[in-house]
Amino acid sequence: MLFLTIPTRHDHPELLEALIENSSVPRERVILVATAPNLELPTGCIVINDFDPPNIQRWWLTGIEEAIRRGASAVAVLNDDLRINEATLPTLYTSLMETRASVA
């Protein structure tokens, strides 16, 4: 089961919303790591607050660990300002599962 984690300060709300929509991952499997307080993040996603000093690796790990707790077999880690299409993550996920690779 594919999960998605995205650390965000929500500087690009339109890009974040489009990223979630185009990910082909249900919102209940999208983990947003909020890196600043009082953000109005997209609804339906799992939100974890982390306002400690900036550390992208910690933010990624926070989202990955939560996804694993929720049953993920793979976790896509993305920046909040990416543009993808509906085939991007399903294609990567399928390839990961077929090849048993650890990273794509």
Asked if pLDDT for residue 83 goes beyond 80, the answer is yes
Distance CA 52, CA 34 (A): 11
pLDDT at 26: 97
Give pTM, 2 decimals.
0.92
Would you place residue 104 in the very low, low, confident or very high pLDDT band (cuts 50, 70, 90)? low
Beta partners for residue 29, in sequence order: none
Q: What average pLDDT does this structure show over 14-39?
A: 96
Please report which confidence band the pLDDT of residue 14 belongs to, taking 50, 70 and 90 as the band edges.
very high
Q: What is the sign, positive or negative, of the torsion defined by CA atoms of 22, 68, 58, 38? A: positive
- The CA distance from 2 to 4, in Å, is 7
